[in-house]
């Protein structure tokens, strides 16, 4: 039987991406155009600029993906696009483009939850069996979920304030490192001469449950910055970055350890610990979670670095997983700015008593 070939489209934030993936777990093409230069002057993603960039570049990226794969639209069996959550202007661009191709070629259309794309990436790269425990960490999300099947997610915990990627960005700004924060903090931490110089609080560590909090950690970094001479010296930047990165890894490991014990109670037959999302590309975090998984006797899976950040290969693969189950979406599907993986989960209650919900 011929392999199923799916075109994937990703436009949920500030990367425009297209990919061609087969159900044999072969990535035939994976093209990503970063908008980093467009947003860096503003210190973050500007939704209107992102949407215009998606509109300008998406058609060309799809053509490039087809050319790199050696295929044409006539060889494609279905089209999958991120249907949410995300910046709604960008999501609309991707969804409308996918619908147009599907309608013109009479192909199945699949609207993929962006978070499910991250959640299922380990099955594309490592063929991880269900169930498994997922730590989803990105600029807009920090969650622990049990992945029991396609579309079957149970949330153990989420952030009550900032997502971990957001905390990286804010810390990088406080340290004068620039944007985006994740890779710049990691780079600065690697040149620390005294990584133990600063002792930062570890929010939620030791507390019951599996929720996260990072706003207090960010505040502690700001206080250290205010106590130091400004502008910060390179050593100050590096040592504070190392302290922040180490603390984040310890907080995530503590929360994961609690989730792993709970997971084992529900699934005594076992399963892997999987990390996904943009922050999963941080090598210190990956090493800390590997150590934790080894201690707990669970396999640890982290996708290749290029598939941790936003990409269309994960969207195509999630589309394949749904197509295998006979699931498609109508062409009147409405893009969603918010789309939780576990709709039944109660919102975490933050310090102000307001549910944090799902942030994209």
- Neighbour count for residue 316 (Cβ, 10 Å): 35
pLDDT digits (tens, 9 = 90+) for 112-131: 999 999 999 999 999 999 99
Query: What is the pLDDT at residue 355?
Result: 31
Query: What is the pLDDT at residue 38?
Result: 79
Render 292-333 in DSSP notation, one character per residue. Answer: HHHHHT--EE---GGGTSS-SHHHHHHHHHHHHTT----TTP
Query: What is the pLDDT at residue 289?
Result: 97
Query: What is the pLDDT at residue 18?
Result: 98
Q: How far is CA 140 from CA 30, 193, 201, 240, in A?
A: 23, 31, 22, 23
pLDDT digits (tens, 9 = 90+) for 239-273: 999 999 999 999 999 999 999 999 999 999 999 99
Does domain 5-120+307-324 fall under CATH 3.30.420.40? My reply is: yes
Query: What is the pLDDT at residue 354?
Result: 30
pLDDT digits (tens, 9 = 90+) for 65-104: 999 999 999 999 999 999 999 999 999 999 999 999 999 9
Q: How far is CA 33 from CA 28, 38, 140, 178, 311, in A?
A: 17, 11, 20, 20, 9
Does domain 129-305 fall under CATH 3.30.420.40? My reply is: yes
Query: What is the pLDDT at residue 347?
Result: 72
Query: What is the pLDDT at residue 358?
Result: 30
Mean pLDDT, rounded, of the chain: 93
Name residue 154's beta-bridge partners.
146
Query: What is the pLDDT at residue 140?
Result: 84
CA dist 211 and 328 (Å) reads 33
Q: Which of 139, 248, 143 is nearest to 203 (CA)?
A: 248
pTM of the model: 0.93
Q: Which of 99, 14, 10, 85 is nearest to 51 (CA)?
A: 14
Q: Where are the domains of the chain?
A: 5-120+307-324, 129-305
Query: What is the pLDDT at residue 356?
Result: 29
Ranges under pLDDT 50 in the chain: 351-360
Query: What is the pLDDT at residue 45?
Result: 83
Q: Which of 36, 132, 101 is nearest to 319 (CA)?
A: 101
Residues 6+ apart with CB under 8 A from 149: 130, 131
Exposed e or buried b for every residue in 196-222, given b needs 16+ CB within 10 A?
A: eebebebbbeeeeebbbbbbbbbebbe
């Amino acid at each position: 039987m011929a392999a199923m070939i799916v075109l994937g489209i990703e436009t949920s934030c500030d990367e425009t991406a297209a990919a061609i993936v087969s159900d044999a777990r072969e990535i035939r093409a994976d093209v990503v155009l970063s908008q980093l230069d467009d947003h860096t002057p503003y210190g973050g993603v500007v939704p209107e600029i992102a949407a215009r960039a998606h509109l300008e570049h998406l058609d060309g990226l799809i053509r490039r993906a087809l050319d790199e794969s050696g295929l044409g639209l006539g060889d494609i069996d279905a089209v999958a696009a991120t249907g949410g959550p995300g910046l709604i202007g960008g999501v609309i661009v991707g969804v409308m483009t996918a619908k147009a191709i599907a309608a013109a070629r009479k192909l199945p259309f699949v609207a993929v939850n962006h978070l499910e794309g991250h959640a299922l990436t380990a099955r594309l790269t490592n063929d991880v069996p269900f169930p498994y425990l997922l730590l989803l960490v990105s600029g807009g999300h920090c969650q622990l979920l049990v992945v029991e099947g396609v579309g079957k997610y149970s949330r153990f915990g989420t952030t009550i304030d900032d997502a971990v990627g957001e905390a990286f960005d804010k810390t990088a700004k406080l340290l004068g490192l620039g944007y985006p924060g994740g890779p710049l903090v990691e780079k600065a931490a690697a040149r620390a001469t005294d990584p133990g110089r600063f002792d930062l609080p570890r929010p939620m560590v030791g507390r019951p449950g599996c929720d996260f909090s990072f706003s207090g950690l960010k505040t502690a970094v700001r206080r250290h910055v205010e106590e130091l001479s400004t502008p910060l010296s390179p050593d100050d930047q590096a040592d504070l970055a190392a302290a922040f990165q180490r603390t984040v890894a310890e907080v995530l490991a503590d929360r994961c350890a609690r989730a792993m014990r709970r997971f084992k109670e529900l699934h005594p037959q076992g399963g892997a610990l999987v990390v996904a999302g943009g922050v999963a590309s941080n090598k210190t975090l990956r090493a800390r979670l590997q150590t934790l998984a080894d201690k707990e006797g669970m396999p640890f899976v982290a996708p290749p670095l290029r598939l941790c950040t936003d990409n269309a290969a994960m969207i195509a693969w999630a589309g394949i997983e749904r197509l295998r189950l006979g699931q498609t979406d109508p062409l009147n599907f409405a893009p969603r700015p918010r789309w939780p993986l576990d709709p039944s989960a109660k919102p975490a209650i933050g310090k102000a008593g307001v549910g944090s919900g799902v942030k994209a």
